[in-house]
Amino acid sequence: AQIMQRVWGDDFWGDSNVLEVFVANLRKTLEAGGEPRVIQTVRGVGYVLRKLNA
């Protein structure tokens, strides 16, 4: 709920599925060139961005 409020504001009328679809599409875009997954799901918490090793 915190992520949705911060991204879309207090007037957002969607549910958590909207966030899941958004994150899935964002992952697909970020990983299109074969890059490793940087957005990880933390069960019961939300999402975390993982630092890529250079």
Q: How confident is the model at residue 49 (pLDDT cuts 50, 70, 90)?
A: very high
Range of the domain at 40: 2-49
Q: Does pLDDT of 1 surpass 80?
A: no
Token pair belonging to 52? 């890529």
pLDDT score recorded for residue 54: 61
Q: Does a structural domain hold residue 54?
A: no
Spatial separation of the C-alpha atoms in residues 20 and 18, rounded to whole Å? 6
Which CATH number does the domain housing residue 23 bear? Answer: 1.10.10.10
Of the two residues 29 and 52, the one the predictor is more confident about is: 29
Residue 7 has which token pair? Answer: 């991204």
- Residue 8 corresponds to which tokens in the numbers above? 């879309």
Q: How far apart are CA 1 and CA 47, in angstroms?
A: 12
pLDDT tens for each residue of 26-46: 999 999 988 888 999 999 888
Q: Are 12 and 4 in contact (CB under 8 A)?
A: yes
| pTM, two decimal places | 0.72
